[in-house]
Copies of this chain bind each other. A is one copy, B any other.
């Protein structure tokens, strides 16, 4: 039987990484076009403004996971994610950094905050992610965060892409991506260690893998919505 034995940590990690190889949003035509420098300013601004709806919900889903973690030791580690995004005195945090990315790309702050550019399908996908974290057992919710396993490589490329292919974006707008280069690996290590520790039978391991697929679908749906509303990016127009 396919699902009859427990995967080793190595096999389990490999299956999780395989999800990224197949479904992470860097394979989406809109994202490929972005990294090839083929998005026009309206298309790139639309990505920034819609992705902001995802960014601003990260601390919400992380607070929901925080409320379910079984001990203060785990909460002390997890809470760093919320502080990374919300900031604290002396560090404005990732949400503010993303607003500044928008400003650096010519999107006024108030247009980011009032959600006028957010497409309905983007809202549905992100809200589905938040509800997934609200409703699922915490190890499965944590598994859905493991797109961070794939993020650092992509984000480090993106910094170069934005600097070289979209020089009309002011460089101070890239601080969000720079911060994620250290935050995401730390978060991925912690998240992966929790998932490996908690998923102790094959059924739970498969649920974790499915959760990561679900999360990839969320990010993919965001780009689908942009492709439909701002066509032509995937063809270089």
Contact = CB atoms under 8 A, between A and B. Distances in A.
A85 B71 CA distance: 11
Interface in A71-96: 72, 75-76, 79, 82-83, 85-88, 93, 95-96
Contact of A79 (B56, B67, B83): B83
Given A67-B67, A79-B79, A86-B79, A72 B60 contact: no
A-B pairs, top 4 by smallest CB distance, nearest first, are: A63-B67, A72-B86, A63-B66, A64-B67
Contacts of A64: 63-64, 67
A17 B63 CA distance: 30
Contacts of A93: 72
Interface of A: 56, 59-61, 63-64, 66-67, 72, 75-76, 79, 82-83, 85-88, 93, 95-96, 134
Contacts of A60: 67
Listed residue (A56, A76, A93) with the most chain B CB atoms within 10 angstroms of its CB: A76
A84 to B, nearest CB: 11
Contacts of A96: 72
Given A59-B66, A60-B67, 19 more contacts: A59-B75, A61-B67, A63-B64, A63-B66, A63-B67, A63-B75, A64-B64, A64-B67, A66-B82, A67-B67, A72-B86, A72-B87, A72-B96, A75-B82, A75-B86, A76-B87, A76-B88, A79-B79, A79-B83
A79 B75 CA distance: 12
Contacts of A86: 72, 75-76, 79
A50 to B, nearest CB: 19
B82 A79 contact: yes
A132 to B, nearest CB: 13
A134 B87 CA distance: 24
A89 B61 CA distance: 24
A123 B76 CA distance: 24
Nearest to A73: B86
A96 B76 CA distance: 13
